[in-house]
Amino acid sequence: MADAQAEGQQSVQVAEVVARFLTEHGVDRVFGLQGGHIQPIWDQLARRGVRIVDVRDEGSAVHMAHAHTELTGQTAVALVTAGPGVTNTVTAVANASVSRIPLLVIGGCPPIPQSNMGPLQDIPHTAILEPVTRVSRTLRSADQVLREFDEAWARASGDRGEPGPVYLEIPTDVLRREVPPALVLDEHLRAKPKRRPQPHPDDVAAVAALIRAASRPAVISGRGARTTDGTELVRLLDASGAAYLDTQESRGLVPDAHPAAVGSARSAVMRDTDLLITVGRQLDYQLGMGSPAVFRHAKIVRIADTASELIDNRRGEVEILAEPGAALGAIADALKDHAPDTAWRDELKAKHRKRAEDYRQALHTTENGADGHIHPNRIFGALDALDGDALDLGETIMIADGGDLLSFARLGITRCARYLDVGAFGCLGVATPFGIAASLAYPERPVVAVTGDGAFGITATEVDTAVRHGAKVVVIVSNNRAWNIERYDQAENYGLVAGTELGDADFAAMARAFGAYGVRVTDPADLADAIRGALEHAPAVVDVVTSQDAPSPDSGKGLGFVPDYQALTPWNDAEVERRKGEQS
């Protein structure tokens, strides 16, 4: 029976029931911005010792919950007030939805007696959030609140569909109502173990047969691969002889030193593989939508624990709906007597090593741009130079944010413990919120967030949050005074630059105004020492004055232009040719 009965048979307030549900499910912190509509829950959480990470904008609260979930595996909670408090979360909730990140957003709602009478901060929150959540509900019955939370928590974790954010709101008068102890059931309070569906033996055998027949197998992993620690993924790579590409969703699962890791040869892998195995990864724009124009020779195998990562864009010769770790382990077991020919993979690895080393050298030597300012590559060269000295990159949580800067970061960040970035939604402004959540979750680890100046400005006031909560995040801003990937596209393809240039903001001075450590860098020779000082005095902002005359790799491939069929111009050109062939 209910714990409430053991506490003296007294009725309990709905707000207390919610707080107890969260603590029973391992929630030790919430990210939020206070308002009167949610004060009853806020109060109960504070009294129970739950850490309240109060922010400067509700969208940042959701970003922090997103990062906490992604880094710890524990579904995180954002708590926001009614009206603008809820609507401010929409972009961040959409980002979590596209990234399939489990989290719970609890919103405020005007009291029921004021319905349809023009109450304060009244707007149809649930209708607004429904398209970007797995559940979006108003809980008007005090008796049903606990059951609704239990169901929503399960839905966030992927029960009955893909994982992702859920939204629940409770009118303030309902939060203050009393619930009889008989209705506070343990079965709804208890955290439930996550289901681990197992692969069917016939499917495992079919995949093993395809691997044995393949000459150039490749594995691409995504979010779903994070359900394991990478052990089973490495076992499959060893047993199959496959080449391996990670994505931002799975970076760090397989060490770069592994023979299968050939990220610098990504284009060749995608073009030449004859068997593509996706593990918990959608075939979205970052992977050419899986098009035959991009994957020219590949049979496809899909492995995932949710249909959204199993059947999007391309169907597999075999599709395994199961816990990815279990499926990978079973396939590796089925290949125990397989002696793979790794000649193709070995050739790719050699190319990868050379390209990676050449690029690493460029990080340390790239000259300033024509405008005399620092090339963004030098930021990553400075981090590389500090590895093993002021920080251990292998223990560092790295975050990348921005448009142009993200393109440099994906190549320049060569080693880290965990990696987060803007994700498939391209949601700028995550660097500081993600970094705060990462530092609070792992205070013993260095956390470095690298961001463009445009992206940084979106959530720059969260530097204050970092100071107040002691989050030891170092934010490095590549300050080129522009939305540069768009500015480059305008200059190259339209001949007119309009509305893409920013002012010369001194973000180091801004950081100091908030009480953080701030340093501005105009000479690449000073970068390493500036970052060293920031690590010692974090939270910190390192404001690096970078060149606009440094087109990023993605700029050169047409990302800012937004081609008709594919995200990048080379893929788009191949897609156009494929479609011509189909019509002839």
List residues with catalytic annotation.
486
Tell me what percent of the chain is helix, strand and coil, each rounded to the nearest 5.
45, 15, 35
State the Cα–Cα distance between residues 360 and 226, nearest whole angstrom.
Answer: 28
* Closest to 303 (Cα-Cα) out of 286, 322, 284: 322
Long-range Cβ contacts of 362-369 (<8 Å, 24+ apart): 363/412, 368/524, 368/547, 369/546, 369/547, 369/548, 369/549, 369/550
State the Cα–Cα distance between residues 501 and 490, nearest whole angstrom.
Answer: 11
Pairing of strands 178-179, 12-13: antiparallel
Residue type, 17: V
* Closest to 38 (Cα-Cα) out of 172, 200, 202: 172
Give the E-state strand segments of 402-500 in sequence order: 418-420, 447-452, 473-479
Distance of CA 511 to the CA centre of its chain: 25
Give CA separation, 333 vs 55, 231, 338, 401, 542, in Å. Answer: 48, 13, 10, 39, 49
State the Cα–Cα distance between residues 446 and 473, nearest whole angstrom.
Answer: 7
DSSP letter at 324 equals H
Residue type, 43: D
Give CA separation, 318 vs 302, 323, 553, in Å. Answer: 6, 15, 35
* Structure tokens that stand for 236 in this block: 């499959």
* Closest to 467 (Cα-Cα) out of 56, 37, 4, 175: 56
Residue 265: count other Cβ atoms within 10 Å of its Cβ.
Answer: 24
Contacts of 290 (CB under 8 A, 6+ apart): 283, 300, 312, 313, 314
DSSP letter at 51 equals E
Contacts of 433 (CB under 8 A, 6+ apart): 55, 60, 61, 63, 64, 67, 459, 462
Whether residue 539 has a cis bond before it, omega within 30° of 0:
yes
DSSP code per residue over 9-50: S--EEHHHHHHHHHHHTT--EEEEE--GGGHHHHHHHHHTT-
